[in-house]
Amino acid sequence: MRSRYVAYVLELEPYLLATWHPTTRPASLGFDKEEKTRWLGLTIKRHEVQDEDHATVEFVARYKIGGRAYRLHETSRFVLEDGRWFYIDGDIQA
The pLDDT tens digits of the residues spanning 38-73 come to 999 999 999 999 999 999 999 999 999 999 999 999
pLDDT band (50, 70, 90) for residue 94:
confident
pTM attached to this predicted model = 0.91
pLDDT reported for residue 33: 76
| Domain parsing of the chain, residue ranges | 2-92
The pLDDT of residue 81 is above 80: yes
Kindly list the distances between the CA atom of residue 16 and the CA atoms of 8, 22, 52, in Å, as whole numbers in the listed order.
8, 12, 23
The pLDDT of residue 5 is above 90: yes
- Written out in words, the top-level CATH class of the domain with range 2-92 is alpha beta
pLDDT band (50, 70, 90) for residue 30:
confident
pLDDT reported for residue 54: 98
Angle at 77 between CA 73 and CA 82, to 5 degrees: 145
